[in-house]
Amino acid sequence: MARVNVFDTTLRDGEQSPGVNLNQLEKLEIAKQLERFGVDVMEAGFPASSQGDFEGVREIARKVRGVSVTGLARAKKSDIDTAWEALKEGADPRLHVFLATSPIHMTYKLKKTPEQVIQIAEEMVRYAREKFPKVQWSAEDASRSDPEFLVRIIEKVIDAGATVINLPDTVGYTTPAEYGQLFKYISNNVRNIDKAILSAHCHDDLGMAVANTIAAIENGATQVEGTINGIGERAGNAGLEELAVALNIRKDFYPYETNLVLKEIKRTSDLVSNLTGMVVPRNKAVVGQNAFAHESGIHQDGVLKNASTYEIITPEMVGVKSNNLVMGKHSGKHAFNDKVKQLGYELSDEKLLEAFKAFKQLTDRKKEVTDDDLFTILIEIQTDSDDVKKYELKAFQVQYGSSNLPTATVSLIAPDGTKLEDASTGQGSVEALYNTLDSMIVEKIHLSDFQLNSIGRGRDALAQAKVEMTVNGLFVTGRGSSQDVLEASAKAYLNGVNRAFYHKEPIKDKVIHAQSN
């Protein structure tokens, strides 16, 4: 079996999804889970894009030691220098530098001739190799580039020190046959291709990202790039969970293997979904709620007699457990601690006590506590910073009737410790609640989106609310969970406001940018 390396870009390309706004703690939590999942390379962000991204990439490089951590850079010395400052403490630092190569991009975006583009690419890869032991160079919009030009520029950047050559289908334009042929052409015509490995990075605009990626593997690619749940720009990227399972289930046809731990798929998918607020569609391959559900009587009968009649993927393969109900009101702290470790979390003593108290409060109201419930509690506690000032919800009450105007009364503790109380009305209960919160919070807030989902099933299921908003002009997302939909909504609103404080925290170490090339 040929080995294929997996390059995960959930924290860079995935975070570019509209409405996704991860803070440093959330990025680190995803990074630790990606390490457990078994990815070979983790693209932690774009260090030069902001101080916040710089800090996030540096923290991941410092804390995650079992994966090669990389960062994105434009073909500019300043970007490369900033990336090195963020990544130099990593166990296996590498750089991902890109430059457009298609005629449309070179003409209208770069405003450069092909010869100028070759010169820039060669110079910047050589400069990057002075710092980084491994450099990946990407030909942006490779699928719409002239193959002969790609041969010329790839030979130059490999001579300059590039160790990985990425041929991205940047706009999701190509087909499997075309993309496979591109890799075959490059493999057969680049004289020094043996000094680098080929990588495939596909977008899903036409729904062919996974198929295109597999076509690249069949034609010489030994590295694949993608994201968890297929999130990313526009229609997203190739879903790594789909690629991993496809190569495993059809190993009779695809003689390729990865280092991914398949039983970590569900946990990784759930974590990314919860922290990004991007709900996985029920019919999503491999990780959707309906992936192992059977409605048709004929299908049900077949599965009962032999699961392989209609299930080619077992739930256990991807980490879906049938015996999900494991904790209750009589569960003690030791059992709870063991369960936390089983779910992949390492909490400080203070966080563990906080999580146990939240668990006990939930068992007073909910008879059966599922893994999904615990997962939701742990995410909220682990990714909540104790060092940032915040608004705290003390109490609220909403009066509502079919013939009355909804009225909400709220009691808050402000970041400076002041107790606040107020009441407002609205056309609905949530609007009344949000109008009241808005009147009490001094920050200027504009709510742009509100979503409500359930965690699990049944009338006592947890509700999870997600909001998108700007706080003093800064875009943030907020989330909150509770058995009561209004309490979940209030928590989400305040979580968004408090996250704005997190993003405004000063950067401890100054980032020094070199002059742009």
Strand, coil or helix: 344: coil
Dihedral class, residue 220 (left if φ above 0, else alpha if ψ from -120 to 50, else beta): left
DSSP letter, residue 366: -
The pLDDT value recorded for residue 143 is: 98
β-partners of residue 136 are 96, 164
pLDDT in the model for residue 504: 58
Do residues 69 and 48 make contact, with C-beta atoms less than 8 angstroms apart? no
Cβ–Cβ contacts within 10 Å for residue 475, how many?
Answer: 15
**Which two three-digit tokens encode residue 364?**
């007073």
Non-local (6+) Cβ contacts of 231 within 8 A are 10, 14, 17, 20, 237, 272, 276, 278
Taking only Cα atoms into account, the Rg of the chain, rounded to an integer number of angstroms, comes to 25
Per the CB < 8 A criterion, the answer to whether 188 and 226 are in contact is no
Which residues on neighbouring strands pair with residue 369, listed in sequence order? 327
Please provide residue 325's backbone torsions phi and psi, each rounded to the nearest 5 degrees.
Answer: -85, 105
Instruction: Give every CB contact of residue 346 below 8 A, 6+ residues apart in sequence.
Output: none
The model's pTM is: 0.87
Distance of CA 314 to the CA centre of its chain: 25
Amino acid letter, residue 434: Y
Name the 3-class secondary structure at 466: strand
Beta strand spans in 293-444 (E): 325-327, 369-370, 392-401, 404-413, 419-425
pLDDT of res. 326? 53
Neighbours of 479 (CB within 10 A): 23
Of 215, 114, 236, 229, residue with least CA distance to 171:
236
Q: Edge-to-edge strand order for the sheet containing 404-413?
A: 392-401, 404-413, 419-425
Written as six digits, the tokens of 467 are 């909001």
pLDDT at 389: 75
Alpha carbon distance, N-terminus to C-terminus of the chain: 44
The answer to whether 50 and 58 are in contact (CB under 8 A) is no
Contacting residues for 466 by C-beta, under 8 A, at least 6 apart:
277, 449, 450, 451, 452, 453, 477, 478, 479, 492
266, 260 Cβ separation under 8 angstroms? no
Query: What's the CA gap between 11 and 31, in Å, rounded?
Result: 8
DSSP 463: E
As given in the structure block, the two tokens for residue 130 are: 């002075």
pLDDT (tens, 9 = 90+) of the chain, 517 residues, equals: 899 999 999 999 999 998 888 989 899 999 999 999 999 999 999 999 999 899 999 999 999 999 999 999 999 999 999 999 999 999 999 999 999 999 999 999 999 999 999 999 999 999 999 999 999 999 999 999 999 999 999 999 999 999 999 999 999 999 999 999 999 999 999 999 999 999 999 999 999 999 999 999 999 999 999 999 999 999 999 999 999 999 999 999 999 999 999 999 999 999 999 999 898 998 999 999 888 764 444 444 444 455 566 578 888 999 987 544 456 777 788 888 888 888 878 888 888 898 898 888 888 877 778 788 888 888 888 877 776 778 999 999 999 988 889 999 999 999 999 999 999 999 999 999 999 999 999 999 999 999 999 887 778 888 999 999 999 999 999 999 999 999 999 999 999 999 888 765 433 333 333 333 4
Query: d(Cα 398, Cα 240) in Å, to the nearest integer?
Result: 44
- Tell me what pLDDT residue 338 has: 84
